[in-house]
Amino acid sequence: MSAHDVVITGIGLVSSLGEGTDAHWQKLTAADTAPVVDAERYPPYSIHPLPEIDWGLQIAKRGDQRQMETWQRLGTYTAGLALDDAGIKGDEALCAAMDMVVAAGGGERDETVDNAILEASETRNDRDVLLNEKLTTELRPTLFLAQLSNLLAGNISIVHKVTGSSRTFMGEEGAGVAAVETAAARIRSGQSTHVLVGGAFQSEHPDMLLGYELGGYLHRGPWKPVWQREGAEGGGVVSGSGAAFLVLESREHAEARGRRIYATLGPVHSELTRRRKQDLGDAISGLMDKADVPANGPLLTMSGASGAHAATKAEKAALERNPQLVARAFGTLTGHMKEAQFPFAVALAALAIDRKAGYPAFDASNEKAYEGTPNSVLATAIGYHYFEGMALVGAPD
């Protein structure tokens, strides 16, 4: 135990299952929770949609809400949940000294403007002029800001007054892994005392689905659990809207202010495997070796597996190589939340530690039973396309 141990003191979660730690714990530990799936809006693809959210609960000013689209609102809202949970929200001194690392994609494009440009380009040859003309006259100025990746962090600063250092990482699941890794490393080295870290993904927008489908990654046809999509039509990913933010602190800082500690966060291990040249399964096993998995007893593993055929197959094989591991692919119920996937995995791992219980199998034909009180839980995010990460979450004492 050290003063610079990284501890988790705040968790903010939103997914199709609901919002907050209690709602997620209840849904994910109930034996009969069915996923919330919308197969109607973007056929032939299914998505897991956002629950109804009263944005005003975390983003009080209407003007602030208006200057964001759903993705930034979702992240800002969920960051507020995490700050609330950690008892930091509204504490000016703590917020001003708080660092932030955000995993971000791009914001939603304005479909109407895109369509207007495409339509006009059919009858005009001066397309460079046309583009500037449309962008300067058709795009609402502040909604241009809603497309900027680092403005999620910007809005969190504006709305919640988190104004220490701020970093934004891009790169899908890898950004989520790197964000948590960097935040934890800063605390461990003494550079930060408390950090807000996380990401959000809003899947309910055509360009977000297009991003996956250009690579042929989306699952088609009826929904199936993550581990059962191999061989089905399409690429295996069912995306979901959601977000996860964590408040990480040094043990010393959390104890000094008397905060409840959910769990400790061990070192985050990550890799950018060249998957065409290197065996992904071996790379994942290599990460597990580094993660210092406890030698005895079953180890609950919150897997961020996306369902993408090759990556999910490799992860499953690597997990099965170690008979101790009891995997739970939460993406079966939440969908793939891209940048938020790893922070979400860590959050669910911390909840299991805190509540002293595991999760029932989300897919009984592919996931073993788990009994007992978890003392450590492994969290993974193996990118659907690239980047791999994992970390061991442990009991506070």
Partner 1 sequence: MSTTFEKVAKIIADTSEIDLDTITPESHTIDDLGIDSLDFLDIVFAIDKEFGIKVPLEKWTQDVNDGKASTDDYFLMKNLCAKIDGLVAAKAAA
Instruction: Collect all residues with Cβ–Cβ distance below 8 Å to 125 and sequence separation of at least 6.
Output: none
Shortest CB 143 distance to partner 1, Å: 8
Instruction: Collect all residues with Cβ–Cβ distance below 8 Å to 46 and sequence separation of at least 6.
Output: 37, 38, 39, 219, 222, 223, 238
Query: 28 or 151: whose CB is closer to partner 1?
Result: 151
**In which residue are the tokens 């059962």 written?**
228
Shortest CB 137 distance to partner 1, Å: 7
Rounded to 5 degrees, what angle do the CA atoms 44, 49, 51 make? Answer: 160
Query: 39 or 158: whose CB is closer to partner 1?
Result: 158
How far, in Å, CA of 187 to CA of 312, rounded? 32
The answer to whether 220 contacts partner 1 (rule: CB under 8 A) is no
Shortest CB 74 distance to partner 1, Å: 20
117, 139 in Cβ contact below 8 A? no
Of 12-20, 59-67, 83-91, 378-386, the segment contacting partner 1 by CB under 8 A is 59-67
Of 99-138, binders to partner 1 (CB under 8 A) are: 137
Please confirm whether the linkage preceding 374 is cis (ω < 30° from 0).
Answer: no
CA-wise closest residue to 37 among 252, 221, 234: 221
The answer to whether 257 contacts partner 1 (rule: CB under 8 A) is no
- Chosen residue from 46, 58, 67, 76 binding partner 1 by CB under 8 A: 67
- Chosen residue from 66, 188, 275, 313 binding partner 1 by CB under 8 A: 66
User: How many other β-carbons are positioned within 10 Å of the β-carbon of residue 307?
Assistant: 29
- Chosen residue from 3, 22, 57, 61 binding partner 1 by CB under 8 A: 61
User: How many other β-carbons are positioned within 10 Å of the β-carbon of residue 119?
Assistant: 9
Query: 148 or 232: whose CB is closer to partner 1?
Result: 148
- Chosen residue from 32, 34, 40, 63 binding partner 1 by CB under 8 A: 63
Shortest CB 117 distance to partner 1, Å: 17
Shortest CB 139 distance to partner 1, Å: 9
Of 32-40, 55-63, 276-284, 363-371, the segment contacting partner 1 by CB under 8 A is 55-63
Shortest CB 145 distance to partner 1, Å: 8
Give the helix, strand, coil percentages of the chain, each rounded to 5.
40, 20, 40
Q: Which amino acid is at 175?
A: A
Of 332-361, binders to partner 1 (CB under 8 A) are: none
Query: 133 or 255: whose CB is closer to partner 1?
Result: 133
Shortest CB 109 distance to partner 1, Å: 17
Shortest CB 73 distance to partner 1, Å: 16
How far, in Å, CA of 176 to CA of 391, rounded? 12
Query: 30 or 129: whose CB is closer to partner 1?
Result: 129
Query: 156 or 283: whose CB is closer to partner 1?
Result: 156
Query: 137 or 189: whose CB is closer to partner 1?
Result: 137
The answer to whether 62 contacts partner 1 (rule: CB under 8 A) is yes
Q: What is the 8-class DSSP label of residue 57? A: G
What is the contact mask toward partner 1 in residues 138 to 177, using x (rule: CB under 8 A)? --xxx--x--------------------------------
Instruction: Collect all residues with Cβ–Cβ distance below 8 Å to 323 and sequence separation of at least 6.
Output: none
| E-state strands within 96-250 | 99-103, 166-169, 194-201, 239-240, 242-250
Burial class (CB in 10 A: 0-12, 13-18, 19+), 51: middle
Query: What residue ranges bind partner 1 (CB under 8 A)?
Result: 61-63, 66-67, 137, 140-142, 145
